[in-house]
Structure 1
């Protein structure tokens, strides 16, 4: 019997993420060049007014760009996910990659043909309609899960995250040098945009023609399918009973009433579904994601304004510092998980993120920027631990539902808060450009409260023990 060579999704992730990070630098520097010329021309070369006008133009561009990408990707991403679950596993990855190739080609045309940068709004909408990042990353996780056994799944998913961080770090540190390769030509940034399109095309080609999805779990099973199905259902039922027993206070002596509790459903969730804890955790996750998302939106504009006024190389180093946090947060999670609970790790991540943002608000020199980033070393521990706590509040059969609702709430929150923070940033440019970072820091500190309340409630619930019968 002929066996195909086993392949992995990591090469596609490496190529796509490298392409994405160099594109981010190319787009930012193109915006800075175009809007700087426009602002100085319209304001008679008044440097201070020109810088302020440039900041407003760039921040408005990113606001519209991000809203278009987020809002257009919602329906498409769900539809592609459904098709992926029906057997077309590569589709949720290949469609977004094709959209990325076309949109990166549009940036190349903007540079070569001197098209207006507003053309990139069409690129953002195209990315969203092709599935966007939501469909792409969900598809990558699904393929990585298919390629691993149950015992090795965590290791497989972590390897994909590490590949993402490595590619982002390499792309960020080299993007400035690539951008300057054609510094003496009329179309600076064309080489970088062309390389971005090429690496996305390589990722698409690999996924479409080379990657084969091999599920070792399926191939290693030798039992009868009906027997296997019955065994899986029995194990899920036992797991559901166990989870409901820890989440619901049941100081009753009736031993026959507890198993029935796991089989009772209200709507799509079982009765052990703790609505208060779910709402508190979603609230904490939303506050963190709003704070993090708006910080990421404003940071590129902040880096190219005075007093930093960074060039392409410095922007690349600044972005690379953000990808270092992937490694340090993973190391922190691996280390702290040996001695701390989820709630403690989540609070460490929130404090790390909030303190870094507080320092970032007062950055005046390059070294201060990297000090602020150093304080963010454990910032990415927050969401994995909140998701872990969230999964412990519902039955295992409800994981997919609750996580889909969580991601949808993130997207809607982004669409709502992006213009609000952008306008606040523009209104405070004159007297304190870091004011939005302070707002994000406050949101992150406030997110500690619902996480702590959930920890207290869970400890109280687990403290109830059935009274032994006489």
Structure 2
């Protein structure tokens, strides 16, 4: 018997991703530290090996390790840019006709190969530069953006009402928050108690179980309803892929096309700022004057992941008293406040308190995706989420690369500058939302507008 719930797959995928990211960052940081100084970290130490005295030669060495770790992170992200863009766009666009499971399966295969490679790399102490190969493999098969986009499209396929879409997408973010929060909280203990090899092995097992669930237990109604499609050659299929994306905008009226473009611009610019600073938090916490150890980094990651839960609760509460666009604006403004406070955090208490304004950081992403799904037809959902995932992959890699580059250039001067910059740039999506509200957005009006517009098939005739 097939199952219609994709949430267990999202759960396992989120666990693997949430554990891989801090483990990889700290593994690279320790390898660079050891290879630069021939000095090993002590796993049973309760304090971070970090110098706070700026006049000490050890402080200068510490800043050099920060710079190298940031630059290597940039190289890893750039290595997965092109294959990630191509695989995400192709897999998600074709899911409208060939089902949502294929992107999930291929993404899980890539994740399994990546985690196995990381396990072997740590066990045999291969040069850590070979991590770039794992990034390429994962991106070539479809990364987390591919998996997440296919999962959202799978859920939207089952939703008939606009409010139901917002709530269901928020529930997905809630699941992500619970999983990543608990995983982030325990990541430091994974490193301390199990070490990197066994931790990456556990990730591989989780991805393998997920792959089995998707392949053999998850139903795919979209594929079943599209089983009558005529088989096309590879060239025709590729041509049809771009044609569907073109028609997504061409078939829309001028008003709907403007809203679609503005919403896409808003969600990508906001995503750019949030994703760009995400990996910087760990380096910022490891650096002076905070000097956090792996357990405190885990606590910080857990608090950061709790924003998925608070964002879900915010959507659930605010949806009864305000429109989607107002909820998105609240999320953007509070995120700006959080970035500003983080830039001036100099103590552990202040760094923890800086997480409070981030309560609704995920809220704009959930709401804006829901708003986008409301202005396209049901047969265009896969193409829409392919566009979103394509732009998020491009924007995410560009953001992490740019922000890592800026951080490595400014860490010796002022480590918090990157967060002040992000707070200022968040004015861009905020202004874009104001433009949408003032010129064209009217909650609930686009379902009728879509029905009145000619369909793709009619336009072909």
TM over 0.5: yes
User: Residue in 2 aligned with 1:170?
Assistant: 182
Deviation track 1:37-88 (CA, whole Å, cap 9, x = no partner) reads: 233359xx94112111111111112112222233311212233235533345
Is the Cα–Cα contact under 8 Å of residues 145 and 392 in structure 2 kept in the other structure?
no
Residue of structure 2 aligned with 1:326, choices 301, 308, 327: 308
User: Residue in 2 aligned with 1:314?
Assistant: 296
**Mapping for residues 183-202 of structure 1, pairs under 5 Å:** 188-202=195-209
Greater Cα shift, 353-362 or 284-293: 284-293
Long gaps (5+) in structure 2 = 40-55, 229-246, 445-461
Equivalents in 2 of 1:278, 1:212: separation in Å?
30
**Mapping for residues 259-408 of structure 1, pairs under 5 Å:** 268-274=250-256, 276-390=258-372, 401=383, 403-408=385-390
Greater Cα shift, 309-318 or 157-166: 157-166
Residue of structure 2 aligned with 1:448, choices 394, 407, 430: 430
User: Residue in 1 aligned with 2:84?
Assistant: 73
Residue of structure 2 aligned with 1:102, choices 106, 113, 124: 113
Is the Cα–Cα contact under 8 Å of residues 272 and 395 in structure 1 kept in the other structure?
no
Change (3 A) 1:6 1:290: closer
Scaled by the length of structure 2, the TM-score of the pair is: 0.79
User: How many corresponding residue pairs?
Assistant: 405
Deviation track 1:373-407 (CA, whole Å, cap 9, x = no partner) reads: 11110122212333455566667776655554444
CA RMSD in angstroms comes to 3.1
- Residue 13 of structure 1 pairs with residue 10 of structure 2: yes
Is the Cα–Cα contact under 8 Å of residues 280 and 450 in structure 1 kept in the other structure?
yes
Greater Cα shift, 405-414 or 265-274: 265-274
Greater Cα shift, 82-91 or 126-135: 82-91
Deviation track 1:149-189 (CA, whole Å, cap 9, x = no partner) reads: 6366665554443332222122111221121114xxxxx32
* 1:36 CA drift (Å): 1.1
Residue of structure 2 aligned with 1:29, choices 15, 26, 36: 26
Deviation track 1:254-311 (CA, whole Å, cap 9, x = no partner) reads: xxxxxxxxxxx99723334355545544443333122112111322221221222222
Is the Cα–Cα contact under 8 Å of residues 146 and 389 in structure 2 kept in the other structure?
no
Equivalents in 1 of 2:9, 2:263: separation in Å?
33
Is the Cα–Cα contact under 8 Å of residues 269 and 394 in structure 1 kept in the other structure?
no
Change (3 A) 1:365 1:346: same
Residue of structure 2 aligned with 1:413, choices 395, 404, 422: 395
Long gaps (5+) in structure 1 = 183-187, 219-224, 226-264, 463-470
Is the Cα–Cα contact under 8 Å of residues 166 and 367 in structure 2 kept in the other structure?
no
Larger Rg: 1
* 1:366 CA drift (Å): 1.6
Change (3 A) 1:86 1:459: closer
Relative contact order (C-alpha < 8 Å, sep 6+): which is higher? 2
Equivalents in 2 of 1:41, 1:461: separation in Å?
61
